[in-house]
Structure 1
Amino acid sequence: MTGWRRSFPRFCHRATVIRSATAGAAAMAALLTGCGTLPGADGNAAGAGDQAPLTVMTWAPSGTKGTNMAGMPAMAEAYARWVNAKGGIAGHRLHVLTCNERNESVAAARCAQKAVAAHAVAVVGSYSRQGRSFMGPLEAAGIPYIGGYGVSSEEFDSPLSYPVNGGQAALLAGNGRQLAAECKRVSLVRPDTIQGDQMPPILNSGLATGGRSPAHDIRAPENATDYTGAAQSALDEVGADPEFYGTAEFGARAKGACVTATLGEHTDTFFDSFRRLQEDNPKVQMASVLGSVNQTLVDRTGGKSSPLEGALVTGWYPDARDRRWGPMRDVITEHAFNDNRIDPADAGVQTTWIAYTVLRVMVEQVTEDGQDVTARSLQQALDRGDRAVDTGGLTPKLRWRYDDMLAVQSFPRIVNAMVTYQVVRDGRLVATHSGFADLAKTLEKPRRDA
C-alpha cells in the first residue's frame, strides 16, 4: 500500500509554510514564500477543493509469476493527479491508496482490510481473482467495489459490486459468436482451474448462436513455460481438411478449423508453441479475448510478422486507437508520461479509467444531493441510479438498478453485455465491425421475469 508523499517542493522547508485558519491566508502565505503545494504521486495538487478528502483504493497483482496488472494502480494514481490538479471531484481531493494483491488469497484479503482500516469510500478499478477473500471484508464494511476487471464470480454476485463490463462471460460468449461465423470446428485452450472450468459452456453459448457444435475443451497448466502439448491437442481436435495434406496448398489456412486460447498473461507462451507446430501443419484460424491478447503482445511478438497476425479477438471496449480514448491518453501524457507501467491499449488500464469515471459521477451526484460522501452514500447513489453514467461512448451508459441487471445465470450483476470484435491486421488490433455487439440474449436465461 502506498503512503502519502510530501507535496512540498524540494526548495521549500516545512517551517516556511505558514499555517492559516483561512484558505485565503494560506494562499497568500504560499505566494509570499514561493512554496505552494505541487502535484505529487498521491494526487495532492494546488487548487484542490476544500471539501473533506476522499480515500479510495485500487489493487492489482504485480511482480508475480501469473497475471500482472501494474498499470491499473498506476492509472489510478495518474487519475488522482489529474483530477486534483483540476480542483478535485466536486471540491473533494482524491487520495488513492494502492495495494499489490499478488494473485494470492491472503494478500487480497489484506488489501481489503487495509481499505477498511483507511476508511476508503470505495475500491475502484481493480483486478483480482480472489473474490472470496476480498469481497467479505468489503461487504462487512459496506464499501462498494466499482469497476473490477471481471475475473472473479463474486464481482457479478455481490450486492456491493458494480461492474463496468460483462467480464469473462461476455468476452467468451462474444468470442464464440465471432468464431461461429467461420469456424466449423473449434478448440478452446483454457486454464485447468476452477475459473477455467466455467469457460467452455459460455464459449459454447456463443457458438450455438451460429449453429456450431461445442468447442473441444483443452485444459492447460496456468503458468507453464511451454504449451506444445496443449497446442498439439488443440490442432488434433479441430483437424484439418484432408484436401490440404500432400498438396501444393499445404500450409494454407485449413478451412473451418479454429483454435482460441484464453490463458491470460501466458497466452503468448501458448501461441509461441502453437506457431512452431503450425510450421508443419495446415494453418488454422487463431483467436482469443482482450486481456489474453493485446496490442503490446502483438508488438512484442513481431508486429506484422507476429504469429498473431490474422487472429480474431473479442474485447469489451473500442480498439485502442479509437478517438474516444483521447481524454485518457491526454491524462496519461500529462500526468504519467514517464510511467512505463501504463499502456493505454491495456484492457486493465482502460477498465480503471472507466471505473474512475463512474466514481467521479457518483461523487458529484452525492455532493449535489447535499450529502457527505461516504461508502454508504455512494452505495445508495449507485443503487438508486438517478443518473446514468456516460463514459464518453466507451461503454453504453451505465446504471446498476435492479431493472438494469441481466438475468444471466451465475452472473446476476452484469449490466453491460456489449463487446467489440477486432482482428490483428498488419500488426495492429483493429475493429472488424463498427459499434458494439450485444450479448445480452446470448447470456441471459431462456426466459426472463418481467
Structure 2
Amino acid sequence: MARNMTRSARDSGPVRTPRWRRLPIFTATAVAAVTAVAACSSGGSSDSSGDSKSPIKIMVISTLQSAAFGFPEAVDGAEAAAAKINAAGGVDGHQIEISSCNDQFDPNTASACAQKAVSEKLAGVVTGYTSYGNKILPVLAAAKIPFVGLIPATDTEWKSSLAFPFGAGSTGNFTGVTIKLYEQGCKKLGSIASVAAASIDTGKSVENAFKHLGGEVVYTATIPPTAADVSPQVAALVKSGAECVVTTIPPAVELSFIKAAYAAAPDMPIGLAGIDDEVAAKVGPAGKNIVKGDTAYPATSNELKPFVEALHAFNASAAVSSWSLNAYDGVEVIAQAAKGLDKVDAASITAALSKSTSVKVTGYPEPIDFSKPQPVKGLPRLFNPNVVVSHFDGKHFIAFPKPVNVLSALQAVRGTA
C-alpha cells in the first residue's frame, strides 16, 4: 500500500513563521475572497494506487499566525499524528490527510475556514488554539462536521452537539488554577481579564469560585490585548493587598504583565493558562511565580513522551506545546472514532464519538467518556472535569502530584444540571 505521508508544515509557506513575529493580517472585507487561497493549505493529496479506500480528510483551523500572536506548531502536531497512523496502515486502510486554515485571530476568517471545511466535505476539524469556536461551529453544523479538541469559552461552544472538547475549557482551567492558589495559602485574589466578553466571563467565574472557597476578591480590572503599558493595573493590584492574581489575558500582553507584577511584588503567585515552557522562560526570574492550569500534563512529563517522540520523528524542530499536542490528540481521537465504521464521513464519525465511553487522549490523566456529560448547568459538553495544574521551575512546567477536579466548584458557581 502506498502511504500518504503528510507534508511538513515547514513546507507550507507562511505557516512556519516564528510564533512571536508580527505579521500582516487580512482585513475583514478581504477575508471571504482570499481565505481559501491564502489562509488554507493542504497536507498533500492521498496516493491511492493499489488501494481504493478514500482518505480521511481532517482540517486544522487554528491561529497559526496573526498580527498579535500565532502557534504554527499546531499543524506539526496534526501531521505528526497522521504520519504515525498512516505508517501503521492508516485506519482500516484509510489514510489520514491533513489540511490547515489559519484563522488569523479574526472571527470572519475563522468562519471562512469552516466554510472551506464544509465545501471540501471533510471528516473532522481539529485545532491548536482558536478564540472563535463560536464562529466555526455554526458553519460546520450544515455538514455535521465534528470539531474535536476545541477549548470552549462561549455558550455556542458549550452547547453544540458537534463540539468534543478534551477538558473543562477556559473556565475549567482557570478554576483549577484558582483552587490550587487557594490551597497554597492565597486568601485575597486579584482578577485581571481582557476586554473580550469571553475573557470577562471567565474572570467572573474565577472570582465566584474563589469566593465559594472562602477567599476574598480584592481587585478586578481589564487590560486590552494591545496594551503598551500595564503599570496602572499592576500598581492598583499591589495596593489592593492581593496575595495572588489570576489573569485571563492574551499571551502577548500577559508576558508584559508578568514582568511588571514581579517587579512590583516579587513573591505574588500568578495563575494563568495557555503558555508553554518556551514562552514562560521569556519572563526570566518572574517565571517562578507562574501557576498554570491545563487539560494535559506538561511537555517534559512522562505522560507526554509518546507525543514528543512522534512529533520529533515527524519534524525534529517542531515546538512541543499545548497547541501542537491539542491538534495531535484531535487527529488521534478522530482516528479512534473512525475505526470499524462501514462508512467513514463526518456524520458517522460524529455519531461514533457521541457513543464513545473510553477515549484515550495522549497526555491526559484519564480516558474521556463522550457519551456522558458532567452535570454542570450551562456546560452540556463538559466531559472531563480534571485540570492539571503546574508550576514553573525556571526551565519547565512541573505538574503538582494530583489533577484538580473542578466539578464541585463549577456546580457551586453555575448550578447542577
The answer to whether the superposition gives a TM-score over 0.5 is yes
Partner in structure 2 of residue 429 of structure 1: 397
Report the alpha carbon displacement of residue 258 of structure 1 after superposing the two structures with TM: 1.2
1:321 equivalent to 2:321? Answer no
- Aligned pairs for 1:331-350 within 5 A: 331-338=310-317, 342-344=318-320, 346-350=321-325
Partner in structure 1 of residue 286 of structure 2: 307
Partner in structure 2 of residue 361 of structure 1: 336
Partner in structure 2 of residue 218 of structure 1: 221
Report the alpha carbon displacement of residue 108 of structure 1 after superposing the two structures with TM: 0.7
Partner in structure 1 of residue 256 of structure 2: 269
The answer to whether the 8 A contact 1:42-1:77 is kept is no
- The structure-2 alpha-carbon separation of the partners of 1:417 and 1:205, relative to structure 1 and needing over 3 Å to count, comes to farther
Residue identity matched to 2:307 = M
1:383 corresponds to which of 338, 345, 354: 354
1:400 corresponds to which of 357, 363, 370: 370
Residue identity matched to 2:277 = Q
1:183 equivalent to 2:189? Answer no
TM-score of the superposed pair, with normalisation by structure 2 = 0.83
- Report Cα offsets for 1:289-340 as digits up to 9, x if no partner: 231x3211222233xxx212132222221122111211111111211114xx
- The structure-2 alpha-carbon separation of the partners of 1:45 and 1:274, relative to structure 1 and needing over 3 Å to count, comes to farther
- Structure 2: stretches of 5+ with no match in the other structure: 8-41
Q: Give me the whole-angstrom Cα distance separating, in 1, the residues matched to 2:172 and 2:280.
A: 23
- SS of the residue corresponding to residue 225 of structure 1 reads coil
- Aligned pairs for 1:11-22 within 5 A: none
The answer to whether the 8 A contact 1:289-1:315 is kept is no
- The structure-2 alpha-carbon separation of the partners of 1:47 and 1:409, relative to structure 1 and needing over 3 Å to count, comes to farther
Partner in structure 1 of residue 240 of structure 2: 237
Query: Which segment is superposed worse, 60-69 or 136-145?
Result: 60-69
Report the alpha carbon displacement of residue 259 of structure 1 after superposing the two structures with TM: 2.0
Identity of paired residues, percent? Answer: 18
- The structure-2 alpha-carbon separation of the partners of 1:437 and 1:197, relative to structure 1 and needing over 3 Å to count, comes to same
- The structure-2 alpha-carbon separation of the partners of 1:67 and 1:6, relative to structure 1 and needing over 3 Å to count, comes to closer
TM-score of the superposed pair, with normalisation by structure 1 = 0.77
- Please tell me the root mean square deviation across aligned C-alpha atoms, in Å: 2.6
Q: Give me the whole-angstrom Cα distance separating, in 2, the residues matched to 1:441 and 1:167.
A: 15
Report the alpha carbon displacement of residue 76 of structure 1 after superposing the two structures with TM: 1.1
The answer to whether the 8 A contact 2:6-2:79 is kept is no
Q: Give me the whole-angstrom Cα distance separating, in 1, the residues matched to 2:50 and 2:276.
A: 36
The answer to whether the 8 A contact 1:62-1:68 is kept is yes
Q: Give me the whole-angstrom Cα distance separating, in 1, the residues matched to 2:100 and 2:91.
A: 19
- Aligned pairs for 1:411-450 within 5 A: 411-432=379-400, 434-444=401-411, 448=416
- SS of the residue corresponding to residue 164 of structure 1 reads coil
- Report Cα offsets for 1:178-218 as digits up to 9, x if no partner: 12121121111110111122023311243235311235211
- Structure 1: stretches of 5+ with no match in the other structure: 8-39, 240-256
1:121 corresponds to which of 114, 120, 123: 123
Q: Give me the whole-angstrom Cα distance separating, in 2, the residues matched to 1:347 and 1:193.
A: 22
- Aligned pairs for 1:160-171 within 5 A: 160-171=162-173
1:98 corresponds to which of 96, 100, 112: 100
The answer to whether the 8 A contact 2:60-2:127 is kept is yes
- SS of the residue corresponding to residue 308 of structure 1 reads helix
Residue identity matched to 2:227 = A
